[in-house]
A and B are shown apart, each in its own frame.
Chain A
Amino acid sequence: MAAVIPAPQAVARKHGGLQRFARRKSTVAFLMALPLIVLIAALVVYPTFYAIYLAMLNKSLERFVGFSNFTFLFTRETFWMVVKQSCIFAISAVIFKALIGFCVAHFVHNVPAKGQRKWRGMLLIPWVIPPAMSTLGWFWLFDPSYSAFNWIFVRLGIPSVTWLGDGNWARFSVILVNVWYGAPFFLIMYLAALKSVPEQLYEAAAIDGANWWQKIWYVTLPMMRNIISITVLFSLIVTFANFDIVRILTAGGPIDKTHVFATWAFLVGIQGGDIALGAAVSLFMFPILAVAAYFILRDISRRGNEA
């Protein structure tokens, strides 16, 4: 049987096609991103679908129950309290982180270049310490019996505060720690954005007679809008899904007044032995964040098109 030998031209064409394919920027980019894609698929996509599957089973994970875990949650008072608290926690923490980050970024931006690096390093410390560790430090500061803050208050003649024993103070405390931990992220992002604003724009504004506030309103903010949106979105996602700070400081108490989705899902699912309901609780973060992401990204995209 005679072997079929491909024509030399066809082989060359085929090789040339492969080489072209391999040389294409998109192919290279895809191959380089592949390990990350695989990692995300294994650690994010698979668990997500598994969580959806679990959320559709009954308590003993033996029977498919469709959406009844979700509808059951709608009937629970504690669930709605968790929804409300997650929103209060995430939105207020992100607002304060953004405000503090924005202000401090301006201060640091105005520090002479020589000393700026030291300030940047110091201000990033809260963000680089593992949150579980730093939150333990805060826990000791708020300690029910031996709070360092209360020790100072008492010496100043101010009544001591039950930081973690009173619902409202406990909410304040978890938000405070989250702001302390997350503000440096905003700071560094905004500082980078500030450095990219052309100096000429400020000079032009100054020539037009703009004051300090007008420079921020008409120059800085428009130039930083996209980075602000992206940072807020990113932080909103991370803050909504926060677990460690609440878990360590209050474990959701007192009377469930500091529970967020992740801590309540853990309590119900892992500790309470109701994995299906726990999965359903944790999945409620997804639609809320998807809506937020849609509006923020749409805004960014619109501005991109306008530009």
Chain B
Amino acid sequence: MPQQSQQRRKFLKTAAATSAALAFPYIRTSFAAGSLSVAFWDHWVPGANNTLTKLCQDWGKKEKVDVKIDYITSQGNKDQLTIVAEAQARSGHDILQHPAWFAQTYAKQLEPVDDVMNPLIKKYGKVASAAEFLAKSKGHWIAVPAVTGTQVKPPLLRLDLFKKVGIDILEMYPVNKPETKAAANWNWDTMLAAGEKLKKEGHPIGLGLGQTTDSIDWVGAMFHSFGADLVNEKGDILVKKNDAVKQVLEYAQRLVKVMPQDVFAWDDASNNKYIISGQGSMIMNPPSAYAVAKRDNPTVAKELYEIPYPTGPKGRFAGYLPYLWGTWAFSKNKSAAKSLLSHLLQRESVEQLVTASIGYDVPSFESMRDFKIWEKVEPPVGVVYHYPPRKDQTTWVACAPAPASMAQQMYTQAIMTKMIARCTTGGDSIAKTIDWAASELEGYQRS
């Protein structure tokens, strides 16, 4: 990694050339280059934090910067509370990790990082469209797509149970190889048909419909793959005008019948428990459930397999939950912060982080979705090979393309899963559900 590793001086040189207006260069004095306070998401994978710490410390030693790292858990929304508190106090960490829509909400208080992202894009190519959507405001990068925590929530299913109902998953998605032509048949109807049979077998599929991210993310991807966007990029409410909304709700009504009744109360742990227990045949989740199954129920683990999302009338979209690393405009050490961000997004750093997370973290640079770790994890061999979105699968963040001011409310209020709940167990008709959603969305339009 010696050559590729972005040196801070090299970075400053590039930055100075691209952005003369910024307060560069960062001057290293004989008595070290100050300190940098950073807060990252507390990774659930044991050891993943250590790799990130080491990367930061190595950078700090080289650049004579004293790096102080806090790992903040997302349990109890502590990460979100930290963001809000620091934004209110206008004081806090120099680098802070933002989940999904938060960077957009605090865009005005974040330091533009075009000088970090543009050279990286030049070097590594395109960033996932969903990450770009969340990390850019008014044409400027306001944060960089983080490596740690960024995930997709694709189907994690049981090979043996699907085979039992006549679907050979490996025929569509072979071990450590790109998908075959047969994968074109992997659509929402195929999944529903399989779900009906699996319910009869006593192993229903279980796709969360609660109000936490696991539920919101896959439902957001499903809505979009039907073309059922509720709001457009201008903030216009489409829910009543868009026929696809009715279609996706009709589909959801059929889907709910083949799943456990309690999916509406599921949190992000419920679906994991469901598949690990051996009761369920499929959930929508990153490989975290697999990793726990490997420890707690190896018999189930050796039958698990991650595959891409089913395709819908508008395409194949992967429910995506990106994290972003941002620097506050009030940060006292912006240039050092940017230098560290650039260092962390170098391919070598990213590969170390993804490997440490056993392939859980998904890099936002599409060129970095070829790391060996996704081939190595087993058993079964290739269990997470198809986890990172490639080829015809587009990452999609729930509630896009709505403007951030609306989308954050839509996301946190879980409007789409609530719509499904209303028109199924809630007893409302689809028309009434759509009216309710339109009224809610009007409320989110306030500025």
Contact = CB atoms under 8 A, between A and B. Distances in A.
Interface of A: 58-60, 72, 75-78, 143-146, 162-167, 170, 250-256, 267-268, 270-275, 277
Interface of B: 77, 80-81, 84, 88, 101-102, 105-106, 108, 210-212, 260-267, 270, 273-274, 277, 279, 405, 408-409, 412-414, 418, 421-422, 425-426, 436, 439-440, 443, 446-447
A77 B265 contact: no
20 contacts: A58-B447, A59-B446, A75-B443, A76-B443, A78-B443, A144-B263, A145-B262, A145-B270, A145-B274, A162-B265, A163-B265, A166-B425, A253-B264, A253-B265, A254-B210, A255-B426, A268-B409, A270-B80, A271-B80, A273-B105
A166 B425 CA distance: 8
B440 A165 contact: no
A281 to B, nearest CB: 12
Most buried by A among B265, B412, B436: B265
Given A76-B443, A77-B439, A272 B418 contact: no
Nearest to B88: A275
A144 B270 contact: yes
A145 B418 contact: no
Nearest to A271: B412
Contacts, number: 98
Given A59-B446, A145-B277, A273-B409, 10 more contacts: A76-B443, A78-B443, A162-B265, A251-B211, A254-B425, A267-B413, A270-B80, A270-B84, A271-B77, A273-B106
B421 A255 contact: yes
A273 B88 contact: no
Contacts of A272: 408-409, 412-413
| The 9 nearest A-B residue pairs measured at CB | A165-B265, A144-B262, A273-B105, A164-B265, A165-B262, A271-B412, A254-B264, A272-B412, A272-B409
B412 A145 contact: no
Given A273-B102, A274-B409, A275-B84, A165 B263 contact: yes
A146 B88 CA distance: 41
A256 B436 CA distance: 13
Contacts of B263: 144, 165
A78 B439 CA distance: 10
Contact of B261 (A59, A77, A165, A267): A165
B211 A253 contact: yes
A70 to B, nearest CB: 13
Most buried by B among A76, A162, A165, A250: A165
A145 B273 contact: yes
A189 B421 CA distance: 43
Contact of B260 (A143, A145, A268, A270): A145
Contacts of B446: 59, 72, 274, 277
Given A76-B443, A267-B412, A272-B413, A255 B262 contact: no
A195 to B, nearest CB: 40
Nearest to A163: B265
Most buried by A among B106, B262, B267: B262
Contacts of B106: 273
A254 B421 contact: yes
Contacts of B274: 145
Contacts of B210: 251, 253-254
A268 to B, nearest CB: 7
Most buried by B among A60, A253, A268: A253
A253 B413 CA distance: 10
Nearest to B405: A59
Contacts of A253: 210-211, 264-265, 414
Contacts of A165: 261-265, 425
A165 B426 CA distance: 11
A77 B436 CA distance: 9
A77 B405 CA distance: 20
A162 B412 contact: no
B308 to A, nearest CB: 26
